[in-house]
Each structure stands twice: as C-alpha cells, then as structure tokens.
Amino acid sequence: MSRLFDKKFGPDFLTRLPNGPAVYIFKDANNLPIYIGKAIRLRRRLSQYKNAKRLKRHKKMRNIVAEANSLEFLECKSHFEAILLEIRLIRKARPKFNVVGAFSDRYPVIGIRAHEKEFMIIYTTSPDEFSEYRLFGTFRSRFHTKYGFYAIADILSHFGHEEKMKREEYTNVPRYSRIKKFRQLDSKAKALLELFLSGESTALLESFILKAVESSSARRNSEQLQETIEIARRFFKFESSRLLNAKKKLKISTAFIPQDQRDELMAKYRYRNEENALGSP
C-alpha cells in the first residue's frame, strides 16, 4: 500500500503535511469526494493509510487509496472544529465511503398523537410529514428505534385495544414509516410512554411487567414477554436516554432535535465529556 500511496500522492506527501487538527478529503478522477475524515494529528493519521496492511480492519483504507485520485486537507484550529467541519462536509457531499452521518435524513423519529378517542404512535424517517404529532428524537439507529417501536406497540396493546390499520389509511403514509393505532389506552400508560420516549424513565416497562403478571396469556408467553422488554430496554439505553443526556449537558429542553442537527449535537456532547475528563484530577 505504501508504494501505491506514494505513486498517487507523491513520496514526500506526508512530510509536507502539518501535524495538527484537520479534515482530509480523498477525491476521485472527477474531483468528487469519495471519503472525508477528521484527524487530531493529520500527518500521523494519513500515514496509517500509507502503511495499511493486508488485514481485514485495514480493508476500507486500502479501498479508499485504490480509488482515490487526489488528497486534500483543511487545517482546523482544534479537534472539535475538525469534528464539526467533517460532519457538515459529509452531510453535503455524501461521499461513497462515508456511511455514518451521510444520510441524516434517514435518521428515525418516534411520534405520538391523541385524537378524540384514538391514540397513534408512529415510527418515521420523514418527521416533516407528521407535524400534528409530538415528536421524540431524532434517534441514530434505525435498528434499535424500529424494533423499539414495535416493542412499545406490543406493550401498549396490554394497556388498551390495538386497532388494525385499514389499507386505505396507509395510502399517504411516507416510505419507511409505520403507524399503530389504539383505543381506550390507559392515561397512565400515555404519561409513562412520554417519559420513556424522552429518555427520562423506564417506569413504563415496570408497569407493563406488573400488568403482565396479572394476565394468564402473558404468563404463558413469558419468553416473548422478556424479549419485548429487552428490546425496549435497548432502545431506551442506546437511543432515548443517550439523547437526553446530551441535551441536558448542552442545556437543551426540547423533546425533538431535527435530523440535520443531531450529529452536531452529539459531537458537542462527546467533546464536552472529553474536556471534563481531561480537566478532572
């Protein structure tokens, strides 16, 4: 890989680089970004690309160098500035090798809506289409959020009556969106659901467990019950409570963070935590 790196960018390329914070951009023959990355020490980071081995963990670096035609960099005043610049450039360019952060418009959201005697809960990646709902998120993982949504719907079915959506009701539902409808949903469950989605409390799960103990059918399906609880707990741990911690740290009180602001918010949160850790005795 060292020989290919030198052939493409020059044998003395690394020696001419600064060794401070920066964002680096690999581009193809059409001058389009194929990968954007950040570095605390630019020269050291890019030397890893030059010296990439034939190991599985180095495969992405080898592929990037193989497809790249040029390599540019933008110096930054701090690592934090590099983090924010990387996020913004990735979101704008959506390079081929940048999966994380390139498509914030696909980040998931969960929303709730009480309408007359109906209660609706939605999973969507198109929050603008559900302005009448109270939205929670934006969350990061579609896996945790989608399965968390189905687990929550299963839990709510023990506190009310789930109604099957009619085919025509799905006509105008955006792609990657799911809706669950309930009637006669317990008011306490609604309140606990809001606390759960906002990352403040898992009391909904404790209440569900107590409810299930009283149900003979739930006891017969104890294995499925445990799985539902575990999926919901994972969503709470990795998505809703993590987002709440970030908002508290940054003194943000709104329940919903727009999709295109989530990555920057979490970057600021991680940076504050790193600062605190370095400043602690």
Q: Is 42:20 a contact under the CB 8 Å cutoff?
A: yes
**Two tokens at 53?**
């081995």
The Cα–Cα gap between 161 and 225 comes to: 18
225: pLDDT confidence band, cut at 50, 70 and 90? confident
Q: What is the pLDDT of residue 218?
A: 56
The superfamily (CATH) of domain 2-93 is GIY-YIG endonuclease (3.40.1440.10)
171: pLDDT confidence band, cut at 50, 70 and 90? low
Q: Is 245:269 a contact under the CB 8 Å cutoff?
A: yes
Q: What is the mean pLDDT of residues 168-196?
A: 86
Q: Is 49:5 a contact under the CB 8 Å cutoff?
A: yes
Q: End-to-end CA distance of the chain: give it in Å, rounded.
A: 42
* Integer angstrom CA distances of residue 2 from 5, 6, 192: 5, 6, 57
277 has pLDDT over 60: no
Q: What is the pLDDT of residue 184?
A: 87
The DSSP result for 64-114, as a single string, is HHHH-SEEEEEE-SSHHHHHHHHHHHHHHH--TT--TTTTGGG--EEEEEE
Q: Say what percent of the chain tops pLDDT 90.
A: 57
The Cα–Cα gap between 15 and 37 comes to: 19
152: pLDDT confidence band, cut at 50, 70 and 90? very high
Q: What is the pLDDT of residue 102?
A: 60
The Cα–Cα gap between 245 and 226 comes to: 26
Query: Residue 190: which residues within 8 A CB-CB, separation 6 or more?
Result: 112, 114, 119
Peptide bond into 125 cis (omega under 30): no
Q: pLDDT: is 223 or 169 the higher one?
A: 223
- Closest by CA to 163, choosing from 151, 179, 174, 149, is 179
What is the rounded average pLDDT for all residues in the chain?
Answer: 88
**In the chain, where are the structural domains located?**
2-93, 104-276
Q: What is the pLDDT of residues 6-35, one digit of tens each?
A: 888 988 899 999 989 999 999 999 999 999
Q: pLDDT: is 70 or 172 the higher one?
A: 70
281 has pLDDT over 60: no
How many Cβ atoms sit within 10 Å of the Cβ of residue 274?
Answer: 12
